[in-house]
Amino acid sequence: MSEKRMLIIPAELAEKIDGNRGDMSHAEFIEFLIDSHFVEKPEEVAGSSYVTREELHSFEQDIKKLMKNFLDFFVTYGLELGKPSFTQELEELTNKLQSLEKGTDINEEKRKATIKWK
């Protein structure tokens, strides 16, 4: 059995530990934090795994250019294809719906639907 010792810490730190440790015991949580902080990871030895502000900004600009190129492509493709306008179809559909509405002589009160709950 390993030797046990007492560690005195401020109350605020103890509350932070209790709030974040989940199902771990106090000792397991502190050991986990120490191991994860001080153990060298292979990717950290090879280089930084973080992105610099300049790299992020460059990435953002490249993505914006790519999105603009996609938009330009699809707009020009649609214009070259010469699709007919949908306004005529929309007007025909509107006229059909209006004629159906005029063809039914139902009062406004009869058009309302009611649901009965038991």
Count the domains in the chain: 2
pLDDT one-digit tens code per residue, 34-58? 888 887 665 555 566 788 889 999 9
One domain, residues 36 and 57: no
In a domain, 112, yes or no: no
* 115 is a domain residue: no
CB-CB contact of 96 with 88 (8 Å)? no
Residue that is written with structure tokens 């030797």 in the block: 3
- Give 64-113 pLDDT, tens digit per residue: 999 888 888 887 777 666 656 667 777 787 787 777 766 655 555 555 65
Q: Is residue 106 part of a domain?
A: no
Rounded Cα distance, 111 and 105, in Å: 10
Domain span at 72: 51-84
State pTM to two decimals. Answer: 0.33
DSSP letter (8 states) at residue 10: -
